[in-house]
Amino acid sequence: VSLVVQKFGGTSVADPDRIRAVADHVVRTREQGHAVVVVVSAMGKTTDDLLRLAHEVAPSPPGRELDMLQTAGERISMALLCIAVWDRGVPATSFTGSQAGIVTDSLHGRAKILEIRADRLKEALAEGHVVVVAGFQGVSRGRDITTLGRGGSDTTAVALAAALGAPSCEIYTDVAGVYSADPRVVPRARLLSRVSYEEMLEMSATGGRVVALRSVEFARNHHVALHVRSSFTWEPGTWVRNEEAPMEQAIISAVTHDTSEAKVTVEHVPDRPGIAARLFRALADESVNVDMIVQNVSIHGATDISFTVPLADLPTGLKVTESLAAEIGATSVTHDADIGRLSLVGAGMKTNPGVAAAMFEVLAEAGINIEMISTSSIRISCVVHRGDVEDGVRALHTAFGLDLPDEAE
Ligand code: ASP
Ligand code: MG
C-alpha cells in the first residue's frame, strides 16, 4: 500500500456536512488501496474566534496560554473527523501534534519543527487505521504545547509526508488550485496545472494565499510534491514540484498582488558605512518584518531609504525609525499606508530579456505610477498606489497573455 497524506483546511471541515464529505473521501481513498494520514485545520473561523476571545479576557495574553488555547481548534476537528470515519465502518485514530511526535523549538506562536518521532503514527497505520493529526501544532523539548504560526497546518502535512516517506501531499482547500491571478480580481484567471517550487515560493511570498510559504519551502527542501485541490469538487488541481523546463515555456506564470504592506521613507540620511546596518538591526530587534528596501543615489552625501513592512508592523516600525532618525542624522521619516504590490512571476524570465520593460510599459499605459521596484531571477515587483492595484493586475494579466479565451459560443 502506498501512503497518502491529505490536508484539509478550515473551510473544508467547517460544519458537520463538510466533515462527513471529507470522511467519505478519506474512506474512498483507503478503498483504492492507500494508507491515509489526514491533517486537519480548525473548523471555519475557529482560530480567529479563539484569538478574539483571549484578547477579550486580557490585552496581551502570554504566548504559552495562547498556544494552548489555539490548539484546541484542531483537536475539535480531528476528533469529529474520526467519529465520522468510524461511522463508515473504518477504524480511525486522532493524534494531537504532541502525540504525533512533532517536536518543535519553544517559540510560541511561530515554532519551527525540529523533528518528528512518528512511531505512534506508524503503529496505527500498521493496524490499518486512518490516522488523523491536528495541524499547526507540536510540543517543545521542554514539553510545552506550541503552534507553528497561522496557516501552519500546511506545514504539518508536508512535514508528516516527508517523515513518513509519502511521495506527495494533497492540500485540499476551497478553491480549485493555484490560479494565474486571484480569480476574484481577474475573472479570466486560469487554473495552473503545475508550477515549480520556485514559482510557488515567489507567489506565496507576494500575495498568493493558497499555500503557506513555509510549507512550500519545506516541500522543496524535502522533495515532497504538493497537489493543491478542491474539497468541494474533488477535481485534480495544481501540482507543485520540480518542473523540467518544457520546450515552449510561458514566460510568465502568474500575476500576484498584495495590499497588506505599508511604505516607510527615511529622508536625507547621511550616505556612509554603517547607517543602513543600524537602522535595519534596530527594526529586526523589534521583530519588524522588513520586505522591499530601496536606497536612492546620494546627492551631496545624503540619500533617502524606503522600505515596506506589514501594515500590522507599521506602528512599531515607525516608532523605531523615528527614534533612530535623529541619531543617524536623518531629517525626517514619512510613511504611506496606502500602497499595494504587483508582481509578475515566471521561471521563463531567466532566459527572456525585456520582461521588466514590458511590465513598466503596461503600467505606464494604464496610467499607473511605480513607486518602488524589486526583482529576483523569476519575479518583478512594483509598489503602486493601493487604488491602482486591481486595474494593474488585470492589465498585466491580459498583456502577458494569461487571460482565458472568451467562452466559445
Ligand atoms: N487553524 C490555523 C489557522 O487558522 C492553522 C491552519 O489553518 O493552518 O491559522
Ligand atoms: Mg486556516
Residue nearest to atom 5 of ligand 1 (CA): 151
The whole-number pLDDT of residue 245 equals 60
List the one residue out of 204, 202, 207, 169 whose CA is nearest residue 186: 207
pTM of the predicted protein model: 0.91
Report CA-CA distances (Å) from 78 to 82, 97, 205. Answer: 6, 11, 29
| Cα 150 to averaged position of ligand 2 atoms, centre (Å) | 7
Residues of the chain under the 70 pLDDT cut: 245-249, 407-409
Q: Considering every ligand atom shown, identify the ligand nearest to the alpha carbon of residue 171 and give its number.
A: 1
Shortest-distance atom of ligand 1 to CA 42 = 1
Q: How far apart are CA 330 and CA 397, in angstroms?
A: 40
The whole-number pLDDT of residue 150 equals 93
What residues does the ion ligand 2 have nearby, CB within 5 Å? 10, 41
Q: Which residues lie with the beta carbon below 6 Å from any ligand 1 atom?
A: 9-10, 41-42, 47, 73, 135-136, 150-154
Residue nearest to atom 6 of ligand 1 (CA): 151
The whole-number pLDDT of residue 247 equals 52
| Cα 186 to averaged position of ligand 2 atoms, centre (Å) | 24
Shortest-distance atom of ligand 1 to CA 149 = 9
Shortest-distance atom of ligand 1 to CA 152 = 8
Given ligand 1 and candidates 69, 136, 209, 228, which is best to mutate, with the most ligand atoms within 8 Å of its CB?
136
The whole-number pLDDT of residue 248 equals 57
**Which residue is associated with the grid cell 514539553?**
143
The whole-number pLDDT of residue 409 equals 41
The answer to whether the beta carbons of residues 273 and 332 sit under 8 Å apart is: no
CA angle (126 as vertex; 122, 129 as ends), nearest 5: 95
The answer to whether the beta carbons of residues 310 and 292 sit under 8 Å apart is: no
Other C-beta atoms lying within 10 Å of the C-beta of residue 18 = 21
By 3-state DSSP, what share of the chain in percent is helix, strand and coil, each rounded to 5? 35, 25, 35
Q: What are phi and psi of 208, to 5 degrees?
A: -65, 120
Task: Using DSSP bridges, classify how beta strands 379-385 and 372-376 pair: parallel, antiparallel or unpaired.
Answer: antiparallel
Cβ neighbours for 239, distance < 8 A, ≥ 6 positions apart? 193, 194, 195, 225, 226, 227
Report CA-CA distances (Å) from 378 to 63, 201, 216, 277, 291. Answer: 37, 10, 16, 27, 17
| Cα 323 to averaged position of ligand 2 atoms, centre (Å) | 37
DSSP helix/strand/coil, 236: coil
Alpha-carbon torsion, ordered 91, 92, 98, 100, to 10 deg: 70
Terminal alpha carbon distance of the chain: 46
| Cα 282 to averaged position of ligand 2 atoms, centre (Å) | 32
Residue nearest to atom 8 of ligand 1 (CA): 151
Per-residue pLDDT tens over the stretch 269-279: 998 899 999 99
Shortest-distance atom of ligand 1 to CA 41 = 7
Looking at residue 368, the DSSP 8-state letter turns out to be P
Q: Considering every ligand atom shown, identify the ligand nearest to the alpha carbon of residue 41 and give its number.
A: 1
| Cα 83 to averaged position of ligand 2 atoms, centre (Å) | 21
| Cα 407 to averaged position of ligand 1 atoms, centre (Å) | 37
| Cα 50 to averaged position of ligand 2 atoms, centre (Å) | 13
| Cα 85 to averaged position of ligand 2 atoms, centre (Å) | 22
